[in-house]
Amino acid sequence: MREFKRLTPYKEALEMMLNDIEEVKEVEELPLDKALGRVLGEDVTSPIDLPPFNRSAVDGYALRAEDTFQAREYAPIELEVIDEITAGMESEKEVTNGRAIRLMTGNKMPNGANAVIMQEYVKREENKIYVLRPVAPGENVAFKGEDVKKGEVILKKGQILRPQDLSMLKALGFKTVKVKRKPKVGIIVTGDELIEELNEKALESGKILDSNSAMLKGLVRDYFSEPVFYGVIPDDEELIRATLERAKCECDLVLITGGSAFGEKDYAHKFVKLLFHGCTNKPGRPIGYGEKVFVMSGYPSAVFAQFHLYVKYALAKLAGANYKPIKIKATLMGKVPSSLGRHEFVKVYYEDGKAYPIRKKGSGIISALVESNGYIEVPENSEGYKEGVEVWVTLY
């Protein structure tokens, strides 16, 4: 174990950690309905044009635009309707001067037609229509390849697949997609004071229920990865060492909570060659990292902050995800004091362009996490923010 004489600045620690993380190499092929939220493992190139043919963008009548140039409501142009087609059909007839074909949105454009007039701008009488306004060539036509051209890269490696991405893949004929293997993230929770099931007598004697495991499992799943839980481990030096060694062998990254400080029973950091230990971030200052292991605090609020300040970025790099947190500008609805030299993680509730600081303090206050939906960061060179200033809120 390396001993650190100073707190590592947050940005420096983050850079050191990210430089140590390597992207997983393995990919797997999944059906589209199993790929939501997964990280794309390769660039995807379109095998076809989309749309694959010129098609109508509206319900109406395909015609020659030149036939409508003189059309006015007070002087409509008469055209003959020579065919009518419904969705999925194709007309075998050709549109010539003075003629039109009734069609639906998405129908292939008939030969000879170069525009479509919306049905709202015609009057229909049996097999005749009366055009009430002119249309331009190409109006209301979606041209072949207008959306996507054959050979075009439509999704890039690292894309976190969304419902609309899956829709695009389906529209282009894909049934499966290659995605990165989910990184395995070991979760170890330590502490003699922790119990896993409600026991009022144990609570009265000073025990507390473990909550970090549930939170970390959920966070890990939210960030492209698969949690592997190794249980709640008492403050037994040898047991912690053995569990940590096993997790390091079986997982791509390990999160161990409790034992990150230098107390008598803080063992976790003893078994890792740390790149840093103790940073300027608050809460969660005792965080350490090395050998693909995060040694984290035991208090839930501190663990939550450490995850968002460090771990989620590690998971994004592991998974090869093109991830950027969602940030939005907001007016701060309360003063947020801080101290120079401290990178502070401040929980807020964001709504309608306003950020309300959560006033409940303490690293063990879980309700403050529940009441928040984002956070702001106060960097080391700032003494905080005044009420009414504009800040960036990172949404959970």
Which segments of 47-121 are extended strands (E)?
Answer: 55-56, 60-63, 77-84, 99-103, 115-118
Total number of domains in the chain: 4
Q: Is residue 149 part of a domain?
A: no
List the one residue out of 167, 169, 216, 222 whose CA is nearest residue 190.
216
Strand (E) or helix (H) holding 165: helix 163-171
Question: Do 281 and 359 share a structural domain?
Answer: no
Residue 88 has a CB neighbour count (10 Å cut-off) of: 9
Written as six digits, the tokens of 205 are 């004697």
- If you write DSSP's letter for every residue of 27-63 in order, what string do you get? EEEEEGGG-TTPBB-S-EE-SS-BSSS-EESSSEEEE
Q: Is 275 helix (H, G, I), strand (E, B) or coil?
A: coil
**CATH code of residue 304:** 3.40.980.10
192-216 exposure pattern, b = at least 16 Cβ within 10 A, e = fewer: eebeeeeeeeeeeeeeeebbbbebb
Instruction: Identify whether residues 31 and 168 lie together within a single domain.
Output: yes
- Give the pLDDT of the chain (396 residues) as one tens digit per residue: 455 668 999 999 999 999 999 999 999 999 999 999 999 999 999 999 999 999 999 999 999 999 999 999 999 999 999 999 999 999 999 999 999 999 999 999 999 999 999 999 999 999 999 999 999 999 999 999 999 999 999 999 999 999 999 999 999 999 999 999 999 999 999 988 887 888 887 777 888 899 999 999 999 999 999 999 999 999 899 999 999 999 999 999 999 998 766 666 667 778 899 999 999 999 999 999 999 999 999 999 999 999 999 999 999 999 999 999 999 999 999 999 999 999 999 999 999 999 999 998 877 789 999 999 999 999 999 999 999 999 999 999
Of the candidates 109, 104, 106, the residue with the CA atom closest to the CA atom of residue 93: 109
Pair (218, 285) in one structural domain: yes
* CATH code for the domain of 380: 2.40.340.10
**Tokens describing residue 47:** 């095998």
200 & 91 share domain: no
Do 249 and 367 fall into the same domain? no
Same domain, 42 and 163: yes
Task: Report the alpha-carbon distance of residue 97 to residue 231 in Å, rounded.
Answer: 79
Indicate whether 37 belongs to any domain.
yes
Last residue of a domain, one of 272, 293, 319: 319
Per the omega criterion (within 30 degrees of 0), is the bond before 300 cis? no
Tell me how far apart the alpha carbons of residues 392 and 374 are, in angstroms, rounded to a whole number. 10
Q: Report the length, in residues, of the chain.
A: 396
Copy the structure tokens of residue 274. 């740390």
Q: Do 216 and 287 reside in the same domain of the chain?
A: yes
Backbone φ and ψ of 11, nearest 5°:
-60, -35
| Same domain, residue pair 295 and 368 | no
Radius of gyration of the chain (CA): 31
Using the 3D structure, point to which of 80, 113, 142 is the last residue of a domain. 142
The verdict on 297 and 281 lying in the same domain is yes
- The rounded distance, in Å, linking the Cα atoms of 250 and 163 is 32
Cβ neighbourhood burial of 28 (10 Å; 0-12, 13-18, 19+): middle
Residues 275 and 299 in one domain: yes
- The Cβ of residue 139 has, within 10 Å, a number of other Cβ atoms equal to 16
The domain in which residue 369 lies consists of 327-395
152 lies in a domain?
Answer: no
> Within a domain: residue 151?
no
User: Helix 10-20 vs helix 312-319: angle between axes, to the nearest 10 degrees?
Assistant: 30
Q: Does any domain span residue 304? A: yes
Boundary of a domain, candidates 256, 290, 319: 319
3 state SS of 265:
coil
Does 66 share its domain with 137? Answer: yes
Do 96 and 120 fall within a single domain?
yes
> DSSP labels for 167-219?
HHHHHTT-SEEEEEPPPEEEEEEE-TTEESS--HHHHHTT-EE--HHHHHHHH
CATH number at residue 97: 2.170.190.11
Determine, yes or no, domain membership for 125. yes
Instruction: Give a yes or no: residue 282 inside a domain.
Output: yes
Residue 283 lies in a domain: yes
Does the pTM exceed 0.85? yes
148 secondary structure, DSSP code: B
What would the DSSP string read from start to end of 320-343?
A: T------EEEEEE-S-EE--TT-E
Query: Residue 264 is which amino acid?
Result: E
